[in-house]
């Protein structure tokens, strides 16, 4: 579901998700992958960010079609 009045919020959500992905990548290069906890952070962080990006993109496309 999406809310047509929250177009700017969806755009901000995409930017924040890209920031989280960047932080995870920097953490992997800086700290490396050490144990199951780091793999979990990578998996959950990237999965959450990608799902958020796909949902926000889908919502933006639907809002643009309504206009």
> pLDDT tens digit string along 13-39?
999 999 999 999 998 999 888 888 888
What are the distances in angstroms from CA 63 to CA 32, 33, 35?
40, 40, 42
pLDDT at 37: 83
pTM: 0.85
Taking residues 32-55, what's their average pLDDT? 92
Between CA 22 and CA 34 the distance in angstroms is 19
Residue 2, pLDDT score = 79
């Amino acid at each position: 579901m999406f809310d047509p009045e929250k177009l700017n919020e969806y755009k901000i959500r995409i930017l924040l998700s890209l920031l989280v992905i960047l932080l995870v990548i920097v953490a992997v290069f800086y700290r490396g992958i050490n144990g199951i906890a780091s793999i979990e952070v990578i998996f959950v962080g990237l999965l959450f960010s990608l799902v958020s990006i796909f949902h926000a993109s889908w919502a933006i496309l639907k809002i643009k079609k309504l206009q």
